[in-house]
Amino acid sequence: MDYSTDKRVAWMIQQITDMDEFQMNRLTNDKLQLFYQFLESVDYNKLFVWLNDDLDIETSFDSAPKFFETNITAEQYQVAFFIKGCGKEPIHIATIEEQIVIGKINDNPLDDLLTKMTNDYVPQVHQEGNWPEGVKKTF
């Protein structure tokens, strides 16, 4: 089976094409089969995709490599992850954006985390109005 013809797999590929050094020709049908398994199986609720030291695409259902275990620079470290609810309804192309959460770590992992915290989470915390008075004073 040519997994690249599945519209859901194609959607997942589109989500990672902005990774620096990404080359579609390095995304083999064996790798795409793992994308397909992630979409079809109730046994997998996460999929990690990254570029290894040789800029080949790697995938795992378990975890991404830790930055300090790689031979790449902080600026080259890139990981994308896909998360879905385990045992939920089948993934459909029409609702895939609601069914799968996507995240990316680009460049230096600590800088990326700081940027995400500053831009995404801190504003949400500040908008929350139901904090106890002691917590409000701290912020």
pLDDT tens-place string over residues 110-136: 676 677 677 776 776 666 667 677 766
Q: What angle do CA 20, 25, 30 make, to 5 degrees?
A: 110
Same domain, 19 and 87: yes
Q: Which two tokens stand for residue 94?
A: 């029409």
Query: How far apart (Å, rounded) are the C-alpha atoms in residues 59 and 27?
Result: 10
Same domain, 83 and 21: yes
- Please check whether residue 54 is in contact with residue 84, taking contact to mean a CB–CB distance below 8 angstroms: no
Mean pLDDT of 12-30: 81
Same domain, 51 and 27: yes
pLDDT, residue 16, reads 86
Can you say whether the dihedral through the CA atoms of 7, 8, 10, 14 is positive or negative?
positive
Report the SS3 class of residue 135.
Answer: helix
Same domain, 126 and 93: no
Same domain, 102 and 113: no
Same domain, 103 and 115: no
Same domain, 99 and 59: yes
Mean pLDDT of 71-86: 78
Reply yes or no on whether the pLDDT at 85 is more than 70: yes
Boundaries of domain holding 133: 109-139
Q: Residue 103: how many CB atoms within 10 A of its CB? A: 13
Mean pLDDT of 84-88: 71
pLDDT, residue 21, reads 67
Using 50, 70 and 90 to split pLDDT, how confident is the model at 71? confident
- Please check whether residue 42 is in contact with residue 12, taking contact to mean a CB–CB distance below 8 angstroms: no
Look at the chain and report how many structural domains it folds into: 2
pLDDT, residue 46, reads 92
pLDDT, residue 72, reads 72
pLDDT, residue 119, reads 75
Residue 59's nearest CA partner among 91, 86, 28, 34 is: 34
User: How much is the mean pLDDT over the chain?
Assistant: 80
